[in-house]
């Protein structure tokens, strides 16, 4: 069955970096686009952008440029979200989600990133 398995929770200090992974199984990895979604504590869902799993080309939503990088390693069917220069307001759960026809059919379980000194 289709699964997206994300890396575990992270506790980071302000200014540090974090890399969240999302390993896909059960489908052809390069057929589905991969999106990233942020959910701050007690808040709604915020689309961060997506990466074309065929070409590796990323697209970032407004507000997620500069410190955020989407990348892939197709050999291990994994997408990555790298956030640098972490701030307290980056504290959130980050989800990966795959998309074949536009809607987000499959979701990872989420990775909690906590930024605190």
- Which residues of the shown chain bind other proteins in the complex (CB under 8 A)? 35, 37, 44-47, 49-50, 59, 61-62, 95, 97, 101-105, 107-110
Question: Whose structure tokens read 């992974």?
Answer: 21
Quick one: how far is CA 7 from the chain centroid?
Answer: 10
Nearer to other proteins, 17 or 57 (CB): 57
Nearer to other proteins, 3 or 74 (CB): 3
CB of 13 to other proteins, least distance (A): 25
Nearest alpha-carbon partner for 24 in 13, 15, 33, 37: 33
3-state secondary structure of 74: helix
């Amino acid at each position: 069955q289709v699964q997206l398995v994300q890396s575990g929770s992270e506790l980071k200090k302000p200014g540090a970096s974090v890399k969240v992974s999302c390993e896909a199984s059960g489908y052809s990895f390069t057929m589905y686009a991969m999106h990233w979604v942020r959910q701050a504590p007690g808040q709604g869902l915020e689309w961060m952008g997506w990466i074309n799993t065929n070409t590796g080309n990323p697209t970032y939503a407004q507000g997620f440029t500069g410190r955020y990088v989407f990348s892939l390693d197709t050999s291990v069917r994994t997408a990555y979200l790298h956030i640098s220069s972490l701030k307290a307001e980056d504290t959130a759960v980050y989800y990966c989600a795959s998309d074949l026809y536009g809607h987000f059919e499959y979701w990872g379980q989420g990775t909690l990133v906590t930024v605190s000194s």
